[in-house]
Amino acid sequence: MRYRRLDLNLLVALDALLSECSVSRAAERLHLGQSATSSALGRLREHFNDPLLVAVGRRLEPTALGLQLLPKVREALALTREIVDAPVDFDPATCTREFTLVASDYVIGVLMPAVSRELARIAPGVRLSLRDLPAPRDADVVGEALDYRRSDFAVVPERRLNSAYPHVPLISDTLCCVVCAQQPQFAQGLDLAAYGAAEHVVRAFADGRNLALDAEYLQQAGITRQVAVSVESFALIPEFIIGTPRIATVFRRQAERFAQCFDLRILPAPLKFPEAVQVLQWHPYQDRDPAIMWFRSLLLEQAARLGQPVGASPVSACKPA
């Protein structure tokens, strides 16, 4: 469809090109070939009589007009999505929508299996796309997830929330330590001296900039750990604890799940870490979308059913298959 000589489909391409500042990345986002995306850029340049993107060294940067157009294009596309996606009625039993949620593997592992089971029961046509937290371009993981990655929801630590997007607390948890149950030196617990002297297994973020809650708190307290192994997934941590005197600091709900399948002992942390709150965020244009409202309620309901994490567990060995 054309409006004032412009093919309106090109607005989607313009959004991708100005957001990515790369023809190849825009092509991936649009699911088009590079030649088709380059052609779209050429037609946009002709219509606006402006290059829109110019080479600066080895990268592309938006022109002044491009920077002026980007927020307006995003607003127009957001309104278009709101019109297109707005159903007259919403029935979970007949819904065939895909919901995309971005979160850490801690949130995905602790909460989303229960959500998936509930979907299978009441909304079998709904599909879930669960993605890890992206490496943000400007330290804004929420904007990266919701604006650039077009996700429906982002779940982030409270200290990472973006107040420009609607948000609600989803899960709270506490930090504890896990050790191999066969290591006798931890039988009586763990004090700060032993914590500092031991080797640690830690969860490290791929961008190398953001710190996990425990690492950030220890850094502020001036406490240095001896990191023996760093992994990009919480789920890998137990494999590097078993059979060693190493320690890991993890969320208690996660520790309890680890202890069901690994020969681990859960111990109170030797210092008082702050409470960890995970916050659910979504895009303002979807705030009144009935499907989004329903799925948001489902997430909150299942999170509430998790209850509070229980106290330290005794030694728990993985049961044989």
Interhelix angle 105-122/252-261, rounded to 10 degrees, is: 80
Domain end residue (candidates: 85, 112, 130):
85
pLDDT at position 270: 92
Same-domain check for residues 258 and 182: yes
Mean pLDDT rounded to a whole number for the chain? 85
Mean pLDDT within 202-228:
80
pLDDT at position 210: 55
pLDDT at position 317: 34
Residue 49: what residue type?
A: N
Answer with the residue of higher pLDDT: 319 or 151: 151
Going 63 to 65 to 71 to 77, the CA torsion angle's sign is: negative
Look at residue 316 and tell me if it is in a domain: no
Mean pLDDT within 178-193:
91
Same-domain check for residues 28 and 109: no
Question: Which domain, by its residues, includes 77?
Answer: 2-85
pLDDT band for position 207 (cuts 50, 70, 90)? low
Same-domain check for residues 150 and 291: yes
Domain with residue 79: its CATH number is 1.10.10.10
**Of residues 45, 210, 65, 234, the one with CA closest to residue 141:** 210
Same-domain check for residues 17 and 39: yes
pLDDT at position 315: 35
pTM beyond 0.85: no
Beta strands per DSSP E along 132-219? 153-157, 167-173, 175-180, 199-203
Same-domain check for residues 167 and 179: no
pLDDT at position 254: 92
Same-domain check for residues 6 and 127: no
Does the structure show a pLDDT above 50 at 314? no
Same-domain check for residues 211 and 147: no
Q: And the tokens for 287?
A: 């705030």
Q: Which of 26-30, 190-194, 246-250 has the lowest mean pLDDT?
A: 26-30
pLDDT band for position 309 (cuts 50, 70, 90)? very low
Look at residue 63 and tell me if it is in a domain: yes
Look at residue 315 and tell me if it is in a domain: no
Give the span between the Cα atoms of 116 and 114, in whole angstroms.
Answer: 5
Look at residue 321 and tell me if it is in a domain: no
Please write the tens of the pLDDT for every residue from 120-143: 999 999 999 999 887 766 678 888
Mean pLDDT within 106-130:
95
Same-domain check for residues 104 and 165: yes
Same-domain check for residues 303 and 165: yes
Q: Which of 146-150, 189-193, 204-208 has the lowest mean pLDDT?
A: 204-208
- Alpha helix locations (H) across the chain? 10-20, 23-30, 34-48, 64-85, 105-122, 141-143, 192-197, 213-221, 252-261, 290-305
Same-domain check for residues 21 and 142: no
Same-domain check for residues 179 and 263: yes
Interhelix angle 290-305/105-122, rounded to 10 degrees, is: 110
Domain count, the chain: 3
Q: Dihedral through CA 193, CA 198, CA 203, CA 209, nearest 10?
A: 70
Domain with residue 115: its CATH number is 3.40.190.10
Percent of the chain at pLDDT exceeding 70:
87
Same-domain check for residues 59 and 185: no
Which burial class, exposed, middle or buried, applies to 12 when counting CB atoms under 10 A from its CB (0-12, 13-18, 19+)? Answer: middle
pLDDT at position 310: 40
pLDDT at position 313: 37
Domain end residue (candidates: 57, 85, 113):
85
Domain end residue (candidates: 29, 55, 85):
85
